[in-house]
Amino acid sequence: MLDSNQLIEINKKKISEHQRNWSFLKESLTNKGVDVEDLIQKISDFQIAIPSWALGTGGTRFGRFPLGGEPSTLEDKVKDVGILHALNKSSGAISLHIPWDVPQDFDSIRKIAADLGLKFDAVNSNTFQDQPNSIHSYKFGSLCHADKTVRAAAIQHNKEVIDLGIKLGSKALTVWLADGTSFAGQHNFREAFQRTLDSLKEIYTHLPDDWKLLIEYKPYEPNFYSMVIPDWGTSHLLASKLGEKAATLVDLGHHLPNTNIEQIVALLMHLNKLGGFHFNDSKYGDDDLSVGSLKPYQLFLIFCELVQGMKETDNGELSWMIDASHNLKDPMEDLLQSIASIKISFAKALLVDYKKLKVAQKTNDVSACQAILQDAFNMDVRSLVSESCYGLGGAIDPLEAYRSLEIRKGLIEERGLDSKSTGL
Ligand code: RM4
Ligand code: MN
Ligand code: MN
């Protein structure tokens, strides 16, 4: 689908402008004593998984406005992630949502992915919807359900997702529970929590030694009075009780407005209990907006904690994934923009002078603390991100390349205007 010769031609048009910008930035970074090669390496190594359900147009409960050429099979979804990765060199993984995307032929899907340079990241279970012909309903919860047979079905589903992930080379199961209540009195909180813990314990026994169980939290939606795992504290409590292989997953859209997410990240890493990250942006709640489109400074502050945590704590490797729905924009364009924002924030966070910051913190020099952070935040690092991508054979400007190559037009020609993606 993506012709590399065409990409070279497109890059040629951008190269002189890029080189001008990059040599200016490179010189100023070198003058500051920054190890530019190391910086580029870190940015180049950073890979963010694309969820299999994000390649199609998302919808709200009021409507959905597809734009055509959507991938209707898992093969096509993997191919679309391959296009993104060829352009930005940072989308080298795909995260499957089960049962939306159950592979029919494991060998062939693994081969398609490997040929495109893609790995299978965490697998996600789904007990927030009833599947066609299922005997049990998750209407009143899954792992927390009062009925043992419903809990057993949900546990079994999670075990099957692990088995499926093993065949693909995944190393983590992500569990997000919609379990909760919309009316006061609907649950006995203590019993619902205990049942959830017991169910998770059973799933945990099925986890291979080199796997992680990532537990998401969310304060509200689809339930509006209580959620069984509403916050990072509850997720952490469960993960601690389960054991070493369990950790908390932070989804940027799963907090009440004004929550200090960077502090949550710092503390979880301090406890070696941050397992993964779902990127999006939000104004109110789980808005599913493009990463960095509303609060780039918050994203930068979160990355500052991630960068420090990765250096100064024993917290293990993290699973990174975009978790956003694309209702208005072409999903592929939205994903390219989101990844670009992530890389920009990561690069800026790598440029913070943390030694100087520690001194300023110790001496309570508040103005200096702010200035040190903002010094890095206010730098224009776009040419640095472009340089890392270009150096790997990607596009200098992935979004512009996507448009110049008329990828969506090609996908519509190939798959038609009506092809629909599974997912939300
Ligand atoms: C949830 C949660 C999960 C995601 C589903 C589709 O809000 O963020 O991670 O997989 O949505
Ligand atoms: Mn999520
Ligand atoms: Mn979410």
Render pLDDT for 292-330 as a digit per residue (tens, 0 to 9): 999 999 999 999 999 999 999 999 999 999 999 989 999
Cα-to-centroid distance, 47 and ligand 3 (Å):
20
From the CA of 251, the nearest ligand is 2
Count of positions (residues) in the chain: 424
pLDDT, tens digit, 9 for 90 and up, residues 128-160: 999 988 999 999 999 999 999 999 999 999 999
pLDDT at position 421: 84
Question: Which one of 52, 94, 216 would you pick to mutate in the ligand 1 pocket, going by the greatest count of ligand atoms within 8 A of its CB?
Answer: 216
Cα-to-centroid distance, 250 and ligand 3 (Å):
10
pLDDT at position 2: 83
pLDDT at position 41: 98
Residue nearest to atom 2 of ligand 1 (CA): 176
Please say if the pLDDT value at position 423 is more than 80: no
Residue nearest to atom 5 of ligand 1 (CA): 176
- 254 or 133, which is more confident? 254
Percent residues over pLDDT 70 in the chain? 99
pLDDT, tens digit, 9 for 90 and up, residues 375-404: 999 999 999 999 999 999 999 999 999 999
Cis, peptide link before residue 99, omega less than 30° from 0: yes
Cα-to-centroid distance, 344 and ligand 3 (Å):
23
Give the mean model confidence (pLDDT) for residues 90-115. Answer: 97
| Ligand 1-lining residues (CB < 6 angstroms) | 97, 124, 176, 216, 218, 251, 278, 286, 323, 424
Please say if the pLDDT value at position 69 is more than 80: yes
Residue nearest to atom 6 of ligand 1 (CA): 424
Please say if the pLDDT value at position 12 is more than 70: yes
Question: Which one of 52, 176, 214, 424 would you pick to mutate in the ligand 1 pocket, going by the greatest count of ligand atoms within 8 A of its CB?
Answer: 176
pLDDT at position 338: 98
Strand order of the sheet with strand 123-124? 123-124, 172-175, 212-215, 246-251, 274-279, 319-322
Q: How confident is the model at residue 424 (pLDDT cuts 50, 70, 90)?
A: low
